[in-house]
Amino acid sequence: MDVRAAVERHLVAAFGPVGGRAGVTFLGAEPIDVLRFGPRPDGFFRYATVGMSAEPMSDPAAAVRDPAGPRAELVLSLRVPRDSVARQLALLAAIPSIEGVPVIAGAGLDLGEPLWDEAPFHGVLVGEPGGLVPDLLLADAAGSPTSGQASPIDDPAGIDDAAQAPGFAHPTEFPAPVRFLPVFPMTPNESAYKRVHGAAALRERWLAAEMDLRDPLRRGLRI
């Protein structure tokens, strides 16, 4: 089964026609495409990776790779397009292949450089899957693209894309579904706060400050 093709079809079904594409290849990692969608009727542009889920992520403590391990792609939502984000988003998507570290909800991923040209954000917080794009069930994708159901969501800040995060506990004979993880840009100060206090505390600070996390020009938290 061509996982990449199934993922792209699934994203097109969720977001409509592809408006732009960038291909990025890193040594020792699967090629990553970053697709741009939008503007959507809701006014947002979406950047989504394709290729991160080509191989399952492995538990770093496991002796061998579990072929039924979790699979994921990243999705970034912005009110204004920032196409220079493509390479950095692909770099984040390559972390499981290059560093052997699974990317899961609640993780903070730091780049050490701007997320796009002249951006004040140098990292992202990984959100919960399921609210923006439903899971892609690979066991069914070979016939027709079917999926789990997306959770209803009405969240002005774009934070609570809620569903259960990927796990490693129960290998099965079927491939794990591809889960689409929203990512939220963080300033260096926000990344430092998250490392000390955790993802939930940072989300609470964002909500209290009424931060629109999809605004590429938003100010950072005063921490």
Whole-number percent of the chain with pLDDT over 70: 82
In a domain, 57, yes or no: yes
User: Do the domain assignments include residue 67?
Assistant: yes
Q: 124, 92 in Cβ contact below 8 A?
A: yes
pLDDT at 60: 64
Is the Cβ–Cβ distance between 191 and 123 less than 8 Å? Answer: yes
221 within a domain of the structure (yes/no): no
Q: What is the pLDDT of residue 30?
A: 79
> What range defines the domain where residue 8 resides?
3-167+174-208
Q: Residue range 196-206: average pLDDT?
A: 98
pLDDT single digits (tens) 159-191:
654 444 444 444 456 788 999 999 999 999 999
What pLDDT score was predicted for residue 145? 43
Instruction: State the DSSP code for 106.
Output: T
Task: Decide the pairing of beta strands 71-78 and 178-186.
Answer: parallel
For residue 36, tell me if it sits in a domain. yes
- For the segment 94-117, the average pLDDT, to the nearest whole number, is 94
222 contact partners, CB below 8 Å, separation of at least 6 = none
* Residue 9 forms part of a structural domain: yes
CB within 8 Å of 208: residues ≥ 6 apart: none
Helix axes 188-197, 199-208, angle to 10 degrees: 130
pLDDT at 166: 46
Domains of the chain: total: 1
Whole-number pLDDT of residue 171 = 47
Answer whether residue 215 is part of any domain.
Answer: no
| 112 within some domain | yes
Measured in degrees and rounded to the nearest 5, phi and psi for residue 134 equal -65, 160
- Percent pLDDT > 90 in the chain is 67
pLDDT bucket at 41, cuts 50 / 70 / 90: confident
